[in-house]
Structure 1
Amino acid sequence: MDTDILSSDSSSSFLRCEPWPDNFPVPEFTYNVELQLQRGNADFQNNGTLLSPSPKLKSDILESLAPQIITFKVYPSSAEFDDVAKALVKKHPCLKEQGSVSGFYGRKISLKYKMANYRTMLRNIGCTELTVNSLKRKQGDSRTSPNQVKKARRAEVNYCPDYPSGQSQDSLEEERLALLSEVKKSNNHQVVKAKMEMTFAYRRHEVIEDRPFIAEFKRRWPALFSEQETDAIETRRACVLKALMVYVNEDPDHLIQEYIDVEENQKAMDETVLGIYAITVEGAEPTDCLADVGIIIEGVNVLDELGNIANAVIILLGLMYSLNLSYPTNLKYTFEVLQKLVMELDANKLSTKVQVLKNKLFEGTP
């Protein structure tokens, strides 16, 4: 992913940096709400009496929980609503529901309705992250690529943030033009990084709303297509990644193509929609002495000299976020494992195949 989306110094107005927590942090409520809950908890501890909150008290509690949820996720899953309701009842046991098996089912349903209303309110006041999901596009627009829009509910952070305070589309376009000059200079990574952070929201709007072709987007944002602008995790061997693909019944050749002679295979590379190429040295083992490793998207060689296949896979995952690309259907389980098991994004909702793999991995964990 872009390094700027995780930077604490980013100039964007609101960026999410934390995944959904294991234990949801119930916020401190207003003084009058806390006072009523403290008395309710005391009564519950002394004589087991449950609190039946008034409509006003219930509304005040939900009004505080909704913004807290938004700091982690705009579209929580059912299991995540469970986490919030369970944490609320645990912190304030007087709110437990007597007629519910879980003790918080009604609280969960109220949270769902509150979050829907809260999203509507944010959308109406111009929250870009929400308005972008309601956009209607003209069919057959030749200026955009045919990639379908993915909504923010798919575990991405910072899906489509608002422009930084004091910035506009025109001012950020000026920064982009300046960036084109800076990226050509040697030993200029820090300046490029700062300008990439400044223009992050502008770039995301372009990706999400305009859906440009990769070739055009690379021309406008060349600094994005460098290894420094993707967030790599610890390098894993290519054989492990290929074994993962085989385990989930997907063909590694759908992602990784190994060539010896580029010229003889140029046509195949030009026709590649999305994949990784590895140029091997003649006579060497496929994963040894790689002359070049790179990434192709829409027939465009967007990155090269990545060193090894595993590194390229991780960088490709970051590019797929940056360019808002969907996972290939013939590799959906491979990318689901990388996203949900390795990166732990949206990890509570797994396909059956990936859940089985997770169970097997934990069988050997003490």
Structure 2
Amino acid sequence: MSTLQTLKTFINQRLAVAVDEIFGLLETTISNYEEEINRQRRLLEAERSEFQNNKADAQQAMRFRVVIDHDVKKITFQNGIPSSVEDLIKVFKQAFSITSDIGLQYKDTDFDDFFTLTSTSDLKDKDTLKVVHVPPGIIMTTVPQKHNLDTSDVSSVDELLSVDSQDNLIPCPPVTERQNQWPAVFPIPAFSYNTEMALRQGNEKFLKDGTPLTSPSVKSDILERLAEAMFSYTAYPNDPQRAAVAQALIEKHPCLREPGSFNGCYGWQQSLKYKCANYRCKLKAHGNPELLINTLKHKQEGDRKPAKNIKKPRKSEVNYLPPHPTGETDDTLESVRLELIAASKTNDSGQMINDMMSRTYSCRRREVVGQTLQVAEFKERWPALFDPVQINEEFRRCNTIPLESTFICHLDRYMPKFLELFSSKGGAVGQRMKSVLIELIKDPKASLDKKRDVTLRCLIEYMGESVQDLISDYYRTPEGKVHEELKSQSMRIYICQQPDAVGVIIDGTPVLTGLDNMSRACCLLFGLTYALNLDYPPKLAKTFEVFQRLFVGLDTLQPKPSSKYINLKNKLLS
């Protein structure tokens, strides 16, 4: 074989080998590319499937954090949320046992603040919603929007959502004054959805086999709700009030009765004591004035001890120290006070004065509770208060009930029994009362005002106290001279004849003049003890106890009634 042929053969062999290598590398590369493409396709299909599943889950289940007053709850919509805000509100009211009108607000992440919910399309999973109670007379409107989700197949709220109760309590200070006194029978509030279901089942089981319900989570929710409900009546519930709440609780839910307790609820009573104290501590952090006034930094230097000189309602005041109205500050209310002084000097509209007095009520309470102003100084600052109309209104603001009509109505109701009781009284007290009753015996046709005056004078004596400690009678003495003579008296009613005049003196200052009769003077003096946060005169404490408990119907649970009062009431009702 020639050299040329040999070279040709060698080159062909090498080229064939190179071609095989190239095709092998090309085949491997193509195979790798195909595998990568398949892998990417599988990943894409998996992501698409996961996206579709997440989208379906988002349509079927949405979870929200719900703030209701002082509670934080969780609500889950298993089959999507309703298409309109109105329907959503209906679901919330049924789920959380809300009977009053409400609106909804959602927390916007951009502004970190709550906005009124006008469309359910604004909501996302895990959003925060706030339930806003709508006062009577205020109508909240929303604009319904269409939504793709359909809940027509939902047969009940239970299928639509689930509710979880949280133990964390987020208190906030009340924005309005209390509207009611402590009730004769305490109304047990509705608890969370889960707790109500547990109580329903527990009551059925207890009635069946006597097994009590012992669930820490249920007890925690019950105590939180009861503490909140009790605070709506008073910040400092006493032992009888806590006992009344515990008794009402086990009567409504017998499964909560304690087997080892002497009354079935003593443990609940003690738990409420500590829970209410804990609730006050939480509210104190939000600046509630009724609680802040008892902090150490707000006390005088000599009283800076936790349990010393506690300022709290002692005569059943409902609105003892309320917060300022929404949007008001010390400066704005001071401006209103100055306008009020000017209005009282110019005899402006009584309605306008009453509106300004209502607006500045919280400011006056801070002065009479937290400061030690003399009555004369307080009268200069608030002259409009020292008027019979405004004393009645101030008593209503403080205790939610009318003063004069209630006082006089009960006095007239018990007056025949009073006179019968006084006439049969013997001993030295009976002799003193008969010297007063002789006026009615001599004049059988005496006026109603005269009968009331005689009844009140005899009542003071019957309670073991002296008429002279409350009433000073004058004959043919000018009223100005009477004022001079009574400058040293802390609390006194004076009655002048020829010329006729009836008035009230407090701390030596004439606070009321030109009154019609003694019974009205007693009523208004009693009202001023609330308006000015005054203690009852020590020598007349039992008489004022009758005014408070019997004539006005305040504070039937604390303090414990005196034996004199109990004896009087038993004889009146016998």
TM-score above 0.5, yes or no: yes
Equivalent residue for 2:524? 315
Report the secondary structure of 1:133's partner residue. Answer: coil
Equivalent residue for 2:260? 99
Which whole-Å CA distance do the structure 2 matches of 1:228 and 1:266 have between them?
Answer: 23
Report the secondary structure of 1:259's partner residue. Answer: strand
Which whole-Å CA distance do the structure 2 matches of 1:333 and 1:125 have between them?
Answer: 39
Which whole-Å CA distance do the structure 2 matches of 1:128 and 1:264 have between them?
Answer: 43
Whether 1:195 and 2:366 are equivalent positions in the alignment is no
Whether 1:359 and 2:570 are equivalent positions in the alignment is yes
Could you tell me which amino acid in structure 1 is paired with residue 190 of structure 2? Answer: E
Deviation larger for 328-337 or 181-190: 181-190
Equivalent residue for 2:376? 215
- Equivalent positions of 1:59-138 (< 5 A) are 59-134=220-295, 135-138=298-301
Higher strand proportion? 2
Deviation larger for 239-248 or 122-131: 122-131
Which whole-Å CA distance do the structure 1 matches of 2:356 and 2:509 have between them?
Answer: 25
Q: TM-score, normalised by structure 2?
A: 0.56
Q: Which has the higher contact order (CA 8 A, sep 6+)?
A: 1
CA contact (8 A) 1:255 1:274 kept: yes
Spell out, residue by residue over 1:164-194, the C-alpha distance to the aligned partner (whole angstroms, 9 max, x if none).
1100000000001111111123362111001
Which whole-Å CA distance do the structure 1 matches of 2:468 and 2:218 have between them?
Answer: 58
Could you tell me which amino acid in structure 1 is paired with residue 541 of structure 2? Answer: K
Which whole-Å CA distance do the structure 1 matches of 2:550 and 2:573 have between them?
Answer: 11
Matched length: 338
CA contact (8 A) 2:483 2:510 kept: no
Which whole-Å CA distance do the structure 2 matches of 1:353 and 1:328 have between them?
Answer: 17
Equivalent residue for 1:35? 197
Q: Structure 1 residues 17 and 255 mapped into 2: Cα distance closer, same or farther (>3 Å)?
A: farther
Larger radius of gyration: 2
Equivalent residue for 2:157? none
Whether 1:278 and 2:495 are equivalent positions in the alignment is yes
Name structure 1 gaps, 5 residues minimum.
Answer: 1-7, 140-147, 283-290
Shift of 1:149: 8.0
Q: TM-score, normalised by structure 1?
A: 0.87
Which whole-Å CA distance do the structure 2 matches of 1:26 and 1:266 have between them?
Answer: 52
Name structure 2 gaps, 5 residues minimum.
Answer: 1-135, 138-173, 303-308, 393-402, 412-451
Q: Structure 1 residues 277 and 100 mapped into 2: Cα distance closer, same or farther (>3 Å)?
A: same
Which whole-Å CA distance do the structure 1 matches of 2:548 and 2:367 have between them?
Answer: 24
Shift of 1:48: 2.0
Shift of 1:265: 4.0
Q: Structure 1 residues 360 and 150 mapped into 2: Cα distance closer, same or farther (>3 Å)?
A: farther
Equivalent residue for 1:240? 455
Which whole-Å CA distance do the structure 1 matches of 2:345 and 2:482 have between them?
Answer: 30
Spell out, residue by residue over 1:23-56, the C-alpha distance to the aligned partner (whole angstroms, 9 max, x if none).
1100000001111111101111222221112x22
CA RMSD, Structure 1 to Structure 2 (Å): 2.1
Report the secondary structure of 1:270's partner residue. Answer: coil
Shift of 1:154: 3.5
Whether 1:269 and 2:432 are equivalent positions in the alignment is no
Spell out, residue by residue over 1:226-284, the C-alpha distance to the aligned partner (whole angstroms, 9 max, x if none).
011122424351111111110111001111111120355443222221111111127xx
Report the secondary structure of 2:185's partner residue. Answer: coil
Q: Structure 1 residues 116 and 39 mapped into 2: Cα distance closer, same or farther (>3 Å)?
A: same
Deviation larger for 218-227 or 337-346: 337-346
Report the secondary structure of 2:182's partner residue. Answer: coil
Which whole-Å CA distance do the structure 1 matches of 2:239 and 2:310 have between them?
Answer: 23
Which whole-Å CA distance do the structure 2 matches of 1:182 and 1:138 have between them?
Answer: 39
CA contact (8 A) 1:37 1:92 kept: yes
2:553 to 324, 344, 358: 344
Spell out, residue by residue over 1:91-148, the C-alpha distance to the aligned partner (whole angstroms, 9 max, x if none).
1111111111211111111111111111222223211112223431257xxxxxxxx9
Report the secondary structure of 1:162's partner residue. Answer: coil
CA contact (8 A) 2:323 2:362 kept: yes
Which whole-Å CA distance do the structure 1 matches of 2:238 and 2:501 have between them?
Answer: 42
Which whole-Å CA distance do the structure 1 matches of 2:190 and 2:472 have between them?
Answer: 54
CA contact (8 A) 1:149 1:324 kept: no
Could you tell me which amino acid in structure 1 is paired with residue 213 of structure 2? Answer: L
Whether 1:228 and 2:393 are equivalent positions in the alignment is no
Report the secondary structure of 1:69's partner residue. Answer: helix
Q: Structure 1 residues 298 and 153 mapped into 2: Cα distance closer, same or farther (>3 Å)?
A: closer
Deviation larger for 41-50 or 310-319: 41-50
CA contact (8 A) 1:75 1:153 kept: no
CA contact (8 A) 1:43 1:49 kept: yes
Could you tell me which amino acid in structure 1 is paired with residue 531 of structure 2? Answer: S
Q: Structure 1 residues 174 and 105 mapped into 2: Cα distance closer, same or farther (>3 Å)?
A: same
Equivalent residue for 1:3? none
CA contact (8 A) 2:474 2:496 kept: yes
Which whole-Å CA distance do the structure 2 matches of 1:323 and 1:264 have between them?
Answer: 26
Q: Structure 1 residues 257 and 193 mapped into 2: Cα distance closer, same or farther (>3 Å)?
A: same
CA contact (8 A) 2:191 2:222 kept: yes
2:183 to 5, 21, 27: 21
Report the secondary structure of 1:125's partner residue. Answer: coil
